[in-house]
């Protein structure tokens, strides 16, 4: 029997389901395709993609192929409002409905926020606060919101066993730089002043984010060190650290791997109308002076991401300055994998590793410490320590089959439960008056 060509197979298989189905039907279809035998997925995805000595993850390659076959328009070709809706639909599809103990809507320094409380933290010891991650979403400072990163925040909270406060910030082009940074810094200052209301321990606070959100988190961490604000940890997921976009990875991966040069150019132009600002330390932490007392960091990058090199360069700069840092590259993955909570065992395994780094960085498991006798922030990253001036690099889970356990990640996915309804929390009186 003549074998059907992969492109024809995909087109007949995917078009009706990805262009006309409901969101839940599309999600079920994608999950089913990714559970096919490896040999079938390889035939549908095409030959392995090898670039810069790395092999693209098979599930990722197949999803990219499906997107192309379904003829989805590139978001950079759409007007900003339509592109925002398209990206939100994509992240909801890829993120799924993740379990969480409780979700509270709140206001953070006048901006919308969402507090995620993992199931293990629902019953509080009122003599002590919980570890808390302040999270800034990605989206090129133009796209994204609380909803686009809801699945990721739920996953990080539950897996790491920490509270997560997701903060919305003003977006370009309506509000260009410095609006997003000002909102992020104001939010973190507010958190340090209102930690008790949030149920947080000020000695176990972290900032984090992905892509543009990673950029904001890194800049907030720099200012926290300059200002003496308490900060224990940085969780930087493929952060944008150098906005001139001049690295080799930008040239290698700027087309065909989801995040495109055209998309990045459009975001930079919207966020920074003055192009000369792209090289400023005010927006590019890679060229900023690093103050004393900078919090330990975990920096995750993706092998097929245009932002890969600048993220790894920033980790190296931190290490040279004596900051405890762990850099981990997930070899076979692309930019945006953190939003793919529900798509592919390799993505799930990578996110589990990131959440585990957060757990270690905030000292989860050291709950026997008494209130008022907390471990100093610089000691909480004991798992990230290495010889000063050197980055601790760890084996990538993705792209090295012997290091990954996709079966475990698949088992985790099978345990996803329906989440309880969100509740609206009243903010402190101070914030009501804003």
Of 59, 130, 210, 305, the catalytic one is 305
**Bridge partners for 302 per DSSP:** 330
Does residue 390 have an active-site annotation? Answer: no
Pick the catalytic residue from 148, 203, 211, 247: 211
Whether the CB-CB separation of 166 and 135 falls below 8 Å is answered with yes
- Segment 365-368 long-range contacts (CB within 8 Å, at least 24 positions apart): 367/128
Find where tokens 């340090």 sit.
192
145 included as an active-site residue? no
Out of 137, 149, 250, 335, the active site residue is 335
Which residues, other chains included, contact 214 with Cβ-Cβ below 8 Å and sequence gap of 6+?
Answer: 136, 138, 208, 236, 237, 238, 239, 240, 241, 311
CB 309 within 8 A of CB 247: yes
Residue 201 known to be catalytic = no
Q: Which residues contact 276 (CB under 8 A, 6 or more apart)?
A: none
Angle of CA points 65, 68, 73, to nearest 5°: 150
For 259, phi then psi, to 5°, come to: -85, 120
CA distance 187 to 311: 24
- Long-range contacts of range 32-38, CB-CB < 8 Å, 24 or more positions apart? 33/62, 33/66, 34/59, 34/62, 34/63, 34/343, 34/344
Catalytic machinery residues:
211, 305, 335
């Amino acid at each position: 029997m003549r074998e059907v060509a992969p492109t024809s197979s995909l087109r007949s298989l995917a078009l009706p389901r990805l262009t006309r189905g409901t969101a839940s039907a599309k999600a079920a279809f994608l999950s089913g395709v990714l559970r096919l035998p490896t040999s079938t997925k390889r035939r549908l995805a095409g030959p392995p993609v090898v670039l810069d000595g790395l092999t693209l993850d098979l599930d990722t390659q197949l999803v990219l192929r499906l997107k192309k076959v379904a003829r989805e328009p590139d978001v950079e070709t759409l007007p900003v409002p339509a592109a925002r809706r398209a990206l939100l639909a994509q992240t909801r599809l890829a993120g799924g409905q993740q379990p969480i103990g409780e979700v509270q809507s709140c206001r953070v320094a006048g901006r919308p926020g969402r507090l995620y409380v993992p199931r293990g933290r629902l019953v509080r010891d009122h003599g002590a606060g919980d570890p808390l991650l302040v999270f800034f979403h990605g989206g090129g400072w133009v796209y994204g919101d609380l909803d686009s990163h809801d699945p990721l925040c739920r996953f990080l909270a539950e897996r790491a066993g920490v509270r997560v406060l997701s903060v919305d910030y003003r977006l370009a082009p309506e509000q260009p730089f410095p609006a997003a940074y000002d909102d992020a810094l104001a939010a973190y200052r507010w958190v340090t002043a209102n930690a008790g209301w949030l149920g947080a321990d000020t000695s176990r606070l972290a900032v984090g984010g992905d892509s543009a959100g990673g950029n904001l988190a890194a800049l907030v961490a720099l200012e926290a060190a300059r200002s003496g604000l308490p900060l224990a940890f940085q969780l930087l997921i493929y952060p944008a650290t150098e906005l001139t976009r001049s690295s080799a990875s930008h040239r290698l991966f700027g087309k065909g791997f989801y995040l495109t040069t055209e998309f990045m150019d459009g975001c930079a132009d919207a966020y920074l109308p003055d192009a000369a600002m792209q090289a400023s330390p005010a927006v590019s932490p890679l060229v900023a002076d690093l103050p004393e007392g900078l919090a330990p960091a975990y920096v995750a990058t993706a092998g097929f991401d245009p932002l890969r090199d600048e993220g790894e360069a920033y980790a190296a700069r931190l290490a040279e300055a004596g900051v405890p840092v762990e850099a981990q590259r997930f070899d076979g993955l692309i930019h945006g994998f953190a939003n793919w909570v529900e798509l592919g065992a390799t993505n799930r395994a990578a996110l589990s590793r990131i959440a585990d780094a957060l757990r270690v960085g905030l000292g989860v498991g050291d709950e026997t410490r008494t209130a008022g006798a907390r471990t100093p922030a610089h000691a909480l990253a004991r798992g990230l320590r290495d010889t000063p001036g050197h980055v601790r690099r760890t084996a990538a889970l993705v792209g090295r089959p012997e290091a990954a356990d996709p079966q475990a990640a698949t088992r985790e996915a099978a345990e996803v439960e329906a989440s309880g309804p969100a509740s609206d929390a009243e903010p402190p009186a101070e914030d009501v008056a804003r």
